[in-house]
Amino acid sequence: MTLTRALFLLLNLGGGLTLKICSFNIKSFGESKISKPDVLDIILESISRCDLMLVLEIKDVKGNAFGQLMTQLNSRYRTRADEFGYVISERLGRKSYKEQYAFIYRQKMVSVNAVYQYPDKQTGDEDAFAREPFVVWFSSPKTVPEAAVKEIDELYDVYQNVSELWQSENFIIMGDFNAACSYVPKRQWVNIRLRSDSQFVWLTGDKLDTSVKVSTKCAYDRVVLRGEKLVEAVNPESVEVFNFKDEFGLTEQQALAVSDHFPLCITVNQARRRG
């Protein structure tokens, strides 16, 4: 399914510790992967490395697998002062093909201010997204024409909609954009407002490889920032692709059983004060 999966994350920045924010497209996540201990172990380890993890491509029709994932996560990695919480979207998509998005977060690090499901009913451009963007506003006292081309460009409209709805200046737009290789030819970047507007900072370069397959070197997964304080708080060098294939000594086939995407992470630090 060659469609953009993008989430908006609004962040209120405080002062103090750093915050590690990640996204992970767990291909076709559902009961099948929960039932495979070796696959589940890698998924849980990948999530536990982050303070805030965006999970994409949840295809759990019965609605049981994600709850089991959270139970396993908290039983293995939780302490009394460090429990993982989550917020999950409704099942989104056209016709019978539907997916969910979820944010998993350490409750001692962040809290949820509000949740908004973008309606994708803009006059004259209805149903632009195969799966509508899911928007979550977090606070952290610890921190400071091809289908893909069209959908990435439409994220600019989502930003405008949300910025009018919620009074926030710091935005993180992240997820599986399919923003590379054949999905976005070089000549089409000029047609993407999220890229041409200099107020949006793309932390992930076009040569970044977030795909598991050795034969595919594409920067499908992306992180885009907007907001002066947020841009100052994120060191571009903190961008990390967690290669669980190498980390756990897996073959390509074993790694692909987990997902065809590697998790993508950034670290948000305390905003630097100007002298």
* Euclidean distance between CA atoms 200 and 175, whole angstroms: 15
How many CB atoms neighbour CB 19 within 10 A? 27
Homologous superfamily (CATH) of 5-268 is: Endonuclease/exonuclease/phosphatase (3.60.10.10)
Query: In 3D, which of 231, 228, 224 has the Cα closest to residue 269?
Result: 231
Give phi and psi for 29, each to the nearest 5: -70, 125
Write down the pLDDT at residue 173: 93
Write down the pLDDT at residue 139: 85
* Euclidean distance between CA atoms 125 and 106, whole angstroms: 37
Average pLDDT, stretch 2-16?
60
pLDDT tens digits, one per residue of 39-72: 999 999 999 999 999 999 999 888 899 999 999 9
Write down the pLDDT at residue 224: 96
pLDDT tens digits, one per residue of 236-261: 999 999 999 999 999 999 999 999 99
pTM: 0.81
Query: In 3D, which of 181, 176, 191 has the Cα closest to residue 145?
Result: 191
264: its two tokens:
């993508």
For 74-128, where are the E strands, in sequence order? 84-88, 100-106, 111-117
Write down the pLDDT at residue 149: 86
Q: Where are the domains of the chain?
A: 5-268
